């Protein structure tokens, strides 16, 4: 990482903290019922000005610059919507978009389903905290670290060389030939997805377990007295009671999946038809020198994330009104 990249990341972090402080300050100022004087507004402006400047430099200006770059070529000339046309017409770009759709459909559904099932099975069991710790441990590993670990699992050695990859060693034990897992499309995309599911299942399990424990015991006991079986109690009592938590889990994992970069970059670098939008954005902007295409991909990524965030906010607002 260059000094400029490090400085840019520091500015972004500081800007994010400044934005958070700005929002909190405005909320506290508005909920204060005390009469406001002219001096109070001047004090508010004085304290918020540094945060506004950092927000302008770290977030607003980069967003505007990225939007302008999306309509320019590598030489900085205006090309209109050519970068977006490239994105939706070139075969390689379409593969990238298709992979992203597969990721964002498969990962949230399987991670949430596995995490919820695991939380239900170990609920109130002996050693529950140890079972939870085992599944939650991958959350403590960075995406890069997880990618390196699983790259060893999928490793391939040609010829008579000893296999160090777990999958290929299992194949050898059963008399089969080893496979170049990460170079075989389309199975390599799903093998990368397994890594993300392995990481996110722990998050889903913890949130779902906490939500399950929040379901009133009286409702479950009443359903049991009515003669319902465990599956009926789960679908008619537990599942509606944890619906809000499930929405949070699915939307959070969906956003993280849309932005996935580290796993793909570490394991395949986007080669062999495994690239996703975030990885392709980096490749086009910093490897191929096509900053316009990279900016266009960044805008598409933002537009994909935005509806998920809006839906999450609407659901939480509806639940707050019901309460």
Beta-bridge mates of residue 78: 72
Provide the b/e sequence for 150-180 (b: ≥16 CB within 10 Å). Answer: bbebbbbeeeeeebebebbeeeeeeeeebee
Cα separation of 98 and 73, whole Å?
Answer: 24
User: Quick one: pLDDT at residue 110?
Assistant: 96
| Spatial contact of 87 and 97, defined as CB atoms under 8 Å apart | yes
> In this structure, are residues 284 and 290 in contact, taking their beta carbons and an 8 Å threshold?
yes
Cα–Cα separations (whole angstroms), residue 313 to 206, 229, 319: 21, 35, 10
pLDDT in tens, 6-18: 555 666 666 666 6
Name every residue whose Cβ is closer than 8 Å to that of residue 95 and which is 6 or more positions away in sequence: 273, 275
Backbone angles phi, psi at 78, to 5 degrees: -70, 125
pLDDT of residue 1: 53
For residue 249, give every residue at least 6 positions away whose Cβ sits within 8 Å of its Cβ, in sequence order, or none. Answer: 108, 111, 112, 115, 203, 204, 207, 208
Quick one: pLDDT at residue 66? Answer: 85
Residues of the chain where predicted confidence (pLDDT) is lower than 50: none
- The burial of 189, by beta-carbon neighbours within 10 Å (0-12 exposed, 13-18 middle, 19 or more buried), is given as buried
Sign of CA dihedral 162, 164, 166, 168: negative
The pLDDT of residue 310: 82
pLDDT at 224: 87
pLDDT at 18: 63
CA 54 – CA 121 distance, rounded (Å) = 48
Tokens of 14: 């500081």
Distance CA 9, CA 287 (A): 19
Reported as half-sphere exposure (CB side, CA atoms, 13 A), residue 125 has a value of: 13
* DSSP assigned state of 137: G
Rounded CA-CA distance 189/104 in Å is 12
Question: How far is the C-alpha of 209 from the C-alpha of 262, rounded, in Å?
Answer: 28
């Amino acid at each position: 990482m260059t000094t400029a990249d490090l400085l840019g990341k520091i500015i972004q972090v500081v800007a994010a903290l400044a934005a958070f402080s700005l929002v909190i300050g405005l909320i506290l100022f508005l909920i204060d019922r005390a009469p406001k004087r002219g001096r109070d507004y001047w004090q508010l402006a004085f304290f918020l000005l540094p945060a506004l400047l950092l927000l302008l430099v770290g977030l607003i200006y980069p967003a505007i610059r990225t939007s302008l770059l999306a309509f320019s070529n590598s030489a900085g000339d205006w090309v209109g919507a050519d970068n977006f046309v490239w994105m939706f017409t070139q075969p390689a770009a379409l593969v990238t978009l298709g992979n992203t759709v597969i990721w964002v459909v498969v990962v949230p559904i399987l991670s949430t389903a596995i995490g919820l099932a695991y939380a239900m099975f170990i609920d109130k069991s002996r050693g529950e905290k140890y079972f939870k710790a085992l599944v939650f441990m991958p959350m403590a590993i960075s995406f890069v670290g997880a990618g390196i670990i699983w790259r060893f699992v999928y490793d391939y050695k040609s010829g008579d060389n000893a296999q160090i990859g777990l999958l290929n060693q299992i194949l050898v034990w059963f008399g089969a030939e080893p496979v170049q897992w990460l170079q075989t499309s389309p199975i390599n995309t799903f093998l990368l997805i397994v890594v993300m599911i392995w990481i996110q299942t722990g998050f889903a399990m913890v949130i779902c377990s906490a939500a399950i424990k929040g379901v009133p015991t009286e409702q479950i006991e009443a359903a049991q007295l009515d003669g319902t079986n465990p599956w009926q109690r789960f679908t008619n009592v537990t599942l509606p009671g944890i619906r809000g938590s499930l929405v949070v889990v699915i939307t959070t994992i969906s956003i993280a999946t849309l932005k996935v970069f580290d796993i793909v970059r570490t394991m395949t670098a986007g080669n062999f038809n495994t690239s996703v939008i975030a990885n392709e954005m980096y490749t086009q902007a910093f490897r191929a020198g096509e900053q316009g295409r990279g900016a266009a991909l960044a805008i598409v990524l933002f537009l994909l994330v935005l509806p998920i965030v809006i839906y999450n906010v609407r659901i939480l607002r509806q639940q707050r009104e019901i309460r």
